Amino acid sequence: MPATTVYVAVLLATAGWLATESRSGQARFIRHISSNVHHLKVGKWWTLLASGLVVDGVPALLGIGAVAAALGLAEWRWGTLRGMGIFLFGHLVATLLTEGAMWLMRLAHLPGALSRARDVGISYGLVATVACLLAVGGERTRRYGLGLLTAALTTAWTIDHELADAGHLVALGLGVLAARSRWLSAHPDRGHG
C-alpha cells in the first residue's frame, strides 16, 4: 500500500510541524493553503491538493488513523491507482462543488457566502472513500453502513450548517457514484473472491 504509506507519512509530518508552530503560525498556514473561492479565483489552484495535507476538525492522530484504515483498505482492494483515485475524486470534486456553490451564493449576493472561508482537511476524500467501500460491500453493509453514515452526516449538517458538513454529504454521494462506475467495477476486487 505505497500511496497510503506516503500520504500518511506526509500527514504525520505536516501535523508534527504544525504542532511546533504558534497558533498564529498555524492559522496563517491554514489560511494560505485553504481551497476557498478567493484562492481559486486568483489562480491558486494548487490549494486544491495542498488543502488535503492538513487534518482539521478532529485530533490529528484520529484523522490520520481513519485515513490509513480507509485508504489502506481501498488501495488493498482495488490497487494504488483506483484506491487513491477514489480518495482524490472525493476530495477534489467535493471541494470544487462546495466552493462553486459558495461562489454562486456570493455572485447572487446571498447571505452566508464567504469568499475566504476556511476549507482544508482530509474529510471529503475520507468520506468518499468510506462511502465507496460501504457501497461495494455486502447487502447489509450497504443498507446499514451507508444508512448510518448518511444519518450521521445529515445530523451534523442539520446542527452545524457548516460548509464542510455540506461537503461531507456531497462526498458521500460521490463515493456511492464511484462505486457504481465502470472504472471501479471493471477492476477485479483483490480483497474478495
Q: Please report which residue ranges of the chain form alpha helices under DSSP H.
A: 2-20, 23-33, 37-41, 47-50, 60-78, 80-107, 123-135, 139-140, 147-160, 163-179, 182-185
Residue 124 to residue 25: CA distance in whole angstroms: 24
Q: Is residue 190 part of a domain?
A: no
* Mean per-residue pLDDT over the chain, rounded: 90
What tens digit of pLDDT does each residue of 34-82 get? 988 888 888 899 999 999 999 988 999 999 999 999 999 999 999 999 9
191 within some domain: no
Q: What is the pLDDT of residue 190?
A: 58
Q: What is the pLDDT of residue 7?
A: 97
Kindly state whether residue 42 falls inside one of the protein's structural domains. yes
The answer to whether 40 and 99 are in contact (CB under 8 A) is yes
CATH number at residue 164: 1.20.1540.10
Domain-embedded: residue 47? yes
pLDDT for the residue 188: 58
Domain-located, residue 192: no
Is the per-residue pLDDT at 193 higher than 50?
Answer: no
CA distance 130 to 181: 16
pTM, two decimals, is 0.90
Is residue 116 situated within a structural domain? yes
Confirm whether 127 is domain-assigned: yes
In a domain, 85, yes or no: yes
Task: Provide the domain limits for residue 82.
Answer: 2-185
Work out how many domains the chain is built from and give that number: 1
**118-171 pLDDT per residue, tens:** 788 999 999 999 999 999 988 999 999 999 999 999 999 999 888 889 999 999
